[in-house]
Each structure stands twice: as C-alpha cells, then as structure tokens.
Amino acid sequence: MSTDTSTGTGSVDSGGSTSSSINLESVRAVAKKDFQDAVRSWLFWGLSAFFFALLVVVTGALSYFGEDIAAQGATTDMLVVFVSQITKLVVPLIALVLGWKSIAGERESGSIKVLLSLPHSRKDVLLGKLLGRSAVLSVSLTVGFVLAAVVVAALLGAFDIVDYAGLLVMSIVFGVAYMSIAVSLSSLTSSTTMAGAAMFGVFVLFYVVWNALQQVFRLLSQREILFFDTVSYTAEIGGQEVQAERLQDWVYFVMNLDPGQAYTNGLTLLTDVDALESQVAYSAQLFGGELPIFLQDWFSFLILLFWIVVPLAVALYRFDRVDL
C-alpha cells in the first residue's frame, strides 16, 4: 500500500481498532457487491414480475367484480386490503428464501474467505449482506409496485397514491425485518442445510405456532388456569350493548409480537383504508375504547424494529466469535 496513500486512508484509519469494528465504507462495498450479484439472478427479475403480477391481478379482479366497491370510491382501499393479505404471507417467504444462504452458503462454498481476505470485518460482512439483500427485496418490490401503478390507476377509477405508497413502504419494512431474521440465522449456522431448517422453523413459528397460540390461550382460559383468566368488556354491536369476555392484556401483547401482525397494524398508520380502520375501532372496544400502547399502530413499528435489531445484535455478537 505504498502507492495510494492519498486514497488509502479509509480503513487504514481504523488502526488500533479490533477486528470486529464496523467500517461503513466496507459495509457499502459488501452490500454493493451482494446487490450486483443478486440483480443478475433470475430471482430478482422474477420477484419484480411477481409483485407486478400480484398487483395487476388483484386490481383486475377488483375492477371486474367490484362495481359496488368502485361505487364507494374504495377501490385502492380494497386493493391494499387484498394485496396486504397476500404480501403478509409472501414477503416473509421471499425474505427467508433470499436470506437463507446469504452467509451459510458463502461459508459452505468458502467464498466468505474471498470477502474476508479483503479488509472487511465480520460485522461489515453481516451488515453488508443484510443491506444488500434488503435492497434486492425492496427494489424488486418497488419496481413491481411502480410498474403496476400505471395499470392500477388505469383500471381503478379512484387511485389513492398515499395508500398505495403506504402499502409499499410497510411491505419494505416488513421485508427488512424478516431479512434480518434470515441473514442472522444464516450467520449462526455453518451449513445451508441447517440454515434451511432454521428458515423453515421461523416460518412455522410465526405462521403456525403463533396462529395456534390464540386458540391455546382461549382453551387455557376456559379451564381457568392461573394467569389465563378472562376480562369482561362491553361492546356495541349494531347499536346493542353486549357483554363479552376477552383474554388478558398480556395475551394480546404476545399475539402482536408476530411481525405479520405488526405489518397489518402498521398499515393503518401509513394508509387511510376504512376496512383496516374499522378493525382498529372494533379492537378498541375490547379495551373500553382506548387501545393499550402495544396495540396502537405506531407500536407495531417498534415491534418490527425489534425484529430487525435483536436477531442482528445476536448475530453480530456470535459471528465474530466463530471459526469459519
């Protein structure tokens, strides 16, 4: 490094730091390479085409069948509701598939040694991978949404750009949360087989176990097991006051830790969709009109942030300490 003293200051500066330091230039270089690599795969273009097709198909169905909806001027609303139900399932799957091999695959093929032969720390690699893969998911979502916007605007009479953009932004945040889980788990395993099993486990956890939790809690409460007793509340249905029972607050808190639930809740903040808002109003009745903090829409961003930060923090700590 004798000839490029003028440009060679970026990471030489970190003299005295430990190997586990973070250098933003390195993170950027790793992310850029990872993105370049992925953009050339069929996966990226396949994803963009998929998101495009998803929006166009739902829009087409709405404009064909949904005359009533159109009459109410709620077409974008319904688009958001339908599409978000699909993306709630599909975005995690895509993130897990994209992130699955991100680190474990490079360890298996040995190419991580190409990355780490260069002056990048392991943390740089982990963060760069997360950024690169998140960019792939976000850009493919954006490309799909933007291209579809033309069709959506043409087919639906009323096109609400705020709701549409809200759905896109929320989907990106949701995708990044799952990407963080995927990349982090990938870094904690040394084989793609183990990583694949971990991805499957995550999906089962949030889409099978978590869904079953509510039933389990209800059953437990019926048997009046300690901590599972119910709370009664008054709701107004069709102008009539109804006395009903609900589970305790903490059960709702646990249920809402699911990133998918946070995604749906977060949509109510970013969009102005009536169907989602009325769901919130109904939920509020359970708690006497005022939603507890953890059920408010802004709190779902904290939950998603939690799912981005916590797996990553564990991975950053662990990945620095393993033999590659």
Partner 1 sequence: MPAITVDNLTKSFGQTVALDDLSFRVEEGEVFGFLGPNGAGKSTTINIVLDFARPTAGEISVLGMDAQRYSRDIRQRTGVLPEGVELYDRLTARQHLEFAIDSKNADDDPEALLERVGLVDAIDRKAGGYSKGMAQRLMLAMALVGEPDLLILDEPSTGLDPNGAREMRDIVREESERGATVFFSSHIMEQVEAVCDRVGILRDGKMVAVDSVEGLRDSVEGGTTLRVTVDRIDDDALQAVRSLPDVSNATVQGQNPPTVVVAVDGSKTAVLSALEDRGIEIRDFETTEASLEDVFQSYTTDAGTEVHAR
Residues in touch with partner 1 (CB under 8 A):
1-4, 7-12, 14-19, 21, 23, 25-26, 29, 32-33, 36-38, 40-41, 109-111, 113-114, 116-121, 321, 323-324
**What's the CA angle centered on 113, arms 111 and 118, to 5 degrees?**
115
Rounded to a whole number of angstroms, the minimum distance from the CB of residue 311 to partner 1 is 23
CB of 196 to partner 1, least distance (A): 19
Q: How far is residue 211's CA from residue 205's CA, in Å, rounded to a whole number? A: 9
Q: How far apart are the first and last CA of the chain?
A: 27
Least distance in angstroms from the C-beta of 40 to partner 1 = 4
Closest CB to partner 1 among 106 and 160? 106
Long-range contact set of residues 248-252: C-beta below 8 Å, sequence gap at least 24: 249/287, 249/292, 251/214, 251/217, 252/292, 252/294, 252/295
Could you write out the DSSP letters of every residue in 219-237? HHHHTT-TT---EEEEEEE
Q: How far is the CB of 90 from partner 1 (least distance, A)?
A: 24
* Nearer to partner 1 among residue 27 and residue 308 (C-beta): 27
* Close Cβ partners of 4 (under 8 Å, ≥ 6 residues apart): none
Work out the burial of residue 102: count CB atoms within 10 Å of its CB; fewer than 13 is exposed, 13-18 middle, 19 or more buried. Answer: buried
**Gap between the Cα atoms of 268 and 239, Å rounded:** 25
Q: How far is the CB of 31 from partner 1 (least distance, A)?
A: 11
Is the CB of 121 or the CB of 171 nearer to partner 1?
A: 121
**Min. distance of Cβ 94 from partner 1 in angstroms?**
19
CB-wise, 41 or 193, nearer to partner 1?
41
Residue 268 CA to residue 78 CA, distance in Å, equals 13
274: nearest Cα among 135, 72, 112, 101: 72
Gap between the Cα atoms of 32 and 215, Å rounded = 45
Nearer to partner 1, 21 or 211 (CB): 21
In the complex, minimum distance from the CB of residue 7 to partner 1, in angstroms, rounded to a whole number: 5
Closer to partner 1 by Cβ: residue 194 or 280 = 194
Nearer CB in complex with partner 1: 40/71: 40
The minimum distance between CB 45 and partner 1, in angstroms, equals 12
Q: Which is nearer to partner 1, 58 or 125 (CB)?
A: 125
Concatenating the DSSP letter of every residue in 125-178 gives: HHHHHHHHHHHHHHHHHHHHHHHHHHHHHHHSSS--HHHHHHHHHHHHHHHHHH
Give the residue from 139, 140, 137 showing the smallest Cα distance to 179. 137
